[in-house]
């Protein structure tokens, strides 16, 4: 039976109101009481995720910024993968050709260039405060992620430009159709989960994982049972057609699958 559950947040564990339903919370708590470990693996920043994790009455590892950071149960950084200065300069140069919203995760900070509907909405839902910054003056150390918000068609063009410029030397992925994210090559949820499993002496085949975005691909491919949400990005479903699907996040898809699998 599975010893560890890893799950994405947005579009997966969280419902349509960006909350963990009481039904899901109780299901995961019951499994923890049966000695099944649990962790969150998300594109969100650690500062943003900590209050969500605190809703559970037990400690857990947190994979954040799409695997660029792993924090242990004590909040200490177990694993990190940052972009280098040359990569950051080039990413900013290429993205400057488009009309979109650019964001940077730098250590414990979220930097944006201007006020916009996206950052105000995300701040309202999460409570994670952003800072207005001139990116040209920002120190290029300890930057774990740049992400870009725009219409999907614009981001597809940006993705193409990034791939032409960097090949596979960076991790370039969609977390949502309107959000393209760029991290260091070794920053992905799969590599981060490997670091946690090594600490816990758990084999990947004894894990179950849930996700809905292309940034979940490596994690879903690594584990013994990868499960895709019904509301997942079509490209994820096409990339991993052999994986099982569960109900959507609005239908408590994670909890329903766990109840069936563990016979709760």
Cα separation values, 14 from 36, 103, 188, Å: 20, 22, 20
For residue 82, give the 3-state DSSP assignment.
coil
pTM, 2 dp: 0.89
What architecture does CATH give domain 4-80+188-262?
Answer: 3-Layer(aba) Sandwich (3.40)
| Contact status, residue 7 vs residue 41, Cβ threshold 8 Å | yes
Position 129 confidence tier, pLDDT thresholds 50, 70, 90 = confident
pLDDT tens string 43-100: 999 999 999 999 999 999 999 999 999 999 999 999 999 999 999 999 999 999 999 9
- Please give the class, per CATH, of domain 85-184: alpha beta
For residue 243, give the 3-state DSSP assignment.
coil
Cα separation values, 49 from 137, 195, 204, 234, Å: 27, 19, 24, 26
| 112 DSSP β-pair partners | 103, 132
For the chain, which residues make up each domain, given as ranges?
A: 4-80+188-262, 85-184
Active site residue 8: yes
Count of C-beta atoms within a 10 Å radius of residue 157: 12
Same fold, 4-80+188-262 and 85-184: no
Count of C-beta atoms within a 10 Å radius of residue 74: 7
Which residue among 8, 48, 82, 212 is the active-site one? 8
The kind and range of the H/E element at 246 are strand 244-246
């Amino acid at each position: 039976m599975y010893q560890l559950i890893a799950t994405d947040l947005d579009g997966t564990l969280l419902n349509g109101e960006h909350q963990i339903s009481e039904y899901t919370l109780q299901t995961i708590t019951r499994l923890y009481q049966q000695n099944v470990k649990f962790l969150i693996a998300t594109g969100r920043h650690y500062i943003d995720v900590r209050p969500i994790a605190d809703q559970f009455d037990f400690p857990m590892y947190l994979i954040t910024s799409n695997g660029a950071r792993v924090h242990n149960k004590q909040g200490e950084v177990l694993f990190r993968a940052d972009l280098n200065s040359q990569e950051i300069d080039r990413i900013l140069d290429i993205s400057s050709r488009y009309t979109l919203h650019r964001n940077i995760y730098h250590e414990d900070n979220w930097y944006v260039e201007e006020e916009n509907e996206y950052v105000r909405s995300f701040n309202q839902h999460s409570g994670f405060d952003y800072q207005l910054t001139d990116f040209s003056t920002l120190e290029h150390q300890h930057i774990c992620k740049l992400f870009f918000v725009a219409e999907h068609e614009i981001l597809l063009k940006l993705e193409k430009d990034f791939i032409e410029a960097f090949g596979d030397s960076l991790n370039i992925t969609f977390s949502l159709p309107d959000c393209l994210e760029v991290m260091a090559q070794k920053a992905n949820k799969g590599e981060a989960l490997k670091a946690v499993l090594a600490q816990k002496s758990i084999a990947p085949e004894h894990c179950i994982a849930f996700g809905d975005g292309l940034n979940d691909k490596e994690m879903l491919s690594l584990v013994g049972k990868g499960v895709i949400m019904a509301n997942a990005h079509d490209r994820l479903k096409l990339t991993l057609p052999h994986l099982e699907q569960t109900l959507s996040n609005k239908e408590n898809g994670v909890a329903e699958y766990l109840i069936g699998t563990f016979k709760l």
